[in-house]
Amino acid sequence: MDVHQAQAFLAVAEELHFGRAAERLHMAQPPLSRLIRQIEADLEVQLFERNTRQVTLTPQGAALIEPAQELVLLSRRIKEIVQQADAGETGRLRLGFAGASVNRLVSALARSIQRERPGITLELFSSQFSHTGLQRVLDGSLDMLIGRWDFLPAQVESRLLGHEELLVALPEHHRLAGQSAVAPGDLVDESWIVLPGASGATLPNRLNVLGVNGGFVPRVTQIAPDSSTQLMLVAVGQGVALNFSGVRDNVPAPGVIFKPLRPSQPTAEVRLIWRRGDPNPVLPAVIALSHKVFPTVPE
């Protein structure tokens, strides 16, 4: 039974008169009678007892009323659901982020979505470093990403959320621990613990620039899977690391001290990015929410 048939059956069941039911459905009586006979033939049961004086429901017809009502209501609900999805009121948004250093930003946006757009299902994907996360935004497997980039391709749109200082993470008993700031030339002989990063990623770029300024090629001895592991390795004396003030402020690191660079380096931009022209209907709603959650930062 389809929705059109269910509506016809219910009209006759409620009116118990083919003429009145046909008027209610804005159709002639003979086509309605044929439609009811077709439903009965499809179901292989008689739904109505008919004679020249009255129309009554059979037990099989009475049993069909509730399922037919559910079918009609569901058809209306489907239209409503589709309209809500098209308006961005319901749907799915996949948000990526690197890790704990931006947890506060992710949490603030997630709370706002839950409070103001409860019909949107938010899926979170951590360990999305700048280079891998950017590729996932470009290929459509992520809708949005919070991270840091020195360069973004033209296919991406973004909002600037803040600036972070570049810092050197040292073991607390390191020879440079007593200095207020560290010059690139002080780091010539250090072993470096880095995070996963491809060409074009912010941290590898900044480390290479640091090496050029200090007259050395960074000697990378370990690649840590995340900032927590990286700082743990620094704490036990396996090397030093270059990272951001957001990591210092959000990732616990006992045994590690953070030093600014002298002269100071350009800050890193923390951005919320999305693919230009992404057809996901919830995306404009979440972008609008981001303007409420995160104050505008001058570019």
Same domain, 123 and 244: no
Among 86, 103, 126, the domain-final residue is 86
- Strand 241-244 and strand 166-171: the pairing is antiparallel
Same domain, 209 and 235: yes
CATH number for 243: 3.40.190.10
Strand stretches in 206-248, DSSP E: 219-223, 241-244
In the chain, the largest separation of any two C-alpha atoms, in whole Å, equals 106
- Cα separation of 12 and 25, whole Å? 10
pLDDT at 84 over 60: no
Q: What domain count does the chain have?
A: 3
Same domain, 190 and 255: yes
pLDDT tens digits, one per residue of 109-156: 999 999 988 889 999 998 888 888 999 999 999 999 999 988 899 999
Of 47, 44, 45, 52, which Cα lies nearest the Cα of 8?
47
pLDDT tens digits, one per residue of 29-59: 999 999 999 999 999 999 999 988 899 999 9
Same domain, 11 and 136: no
pLDDT band per the 50, 70, 90 thresholds, residue 199 = low
pLDDT tens digits, one per residue of 201-247: 788 889 999 999 999 999 999 999 989 999 999 999 999 999 999 99
Same domain, 80 and 105: no
- Cα separation of 133 and 74, whole Å? 39
Residue 111: CB atoms within 10 Å: 11
Of 204, 252, 205, 258, which Cα lies nearest the Cα of 100?
252
Same domain, 170 and 236: yes
**Residue 275 domain boundaries:** 91-162+269-293
What's the pLDDT score for residue 88?
64
pLDDT band per the 50, 70, 90 thresholds, residue 197 = confident
Please indicate, yes or no, if residue 99 is contained in any of the structural domains: yes
Same domain, 133 and 278: yes
Please indicate, yes or no, if residue 298 is contained in any of the structural domains: no
Strand stretches in 245-284, DSSP E: 256-260, 268-275
- Cα separation of 101 and 227, whole Å? 8
Please indicate, yes or no, if residue 196 is contained in any of the structural domains: yes
pLDDT tens digits, one per residue of 91-101: 899 999 988 88
Q: Are 215 and 138 in contact (CB under 8 A)?
A: no
Same domain, 170 and 228: yes
- Cα separation of 176 and 172, whole Å? 9
Same domain, 157 and 183: no
- Cα separation of 31 and 240, whole Å? 83
What's the pLDDT score for residue 38?
94
Q: How many CA atoms lie within 13 A of 130 on its CB side?
A: 22
Please indicate, yes or no, if residue 299 is contained in any of the structural domains: no
Q: Are 181 and 267 in contact (CB under 8 A)?
A: no
Same domain, 208 and 230: yes
pLDDT band per the 50, 70, 90 thresholds, residue 198 = low
Same domain, 34 and 172: no
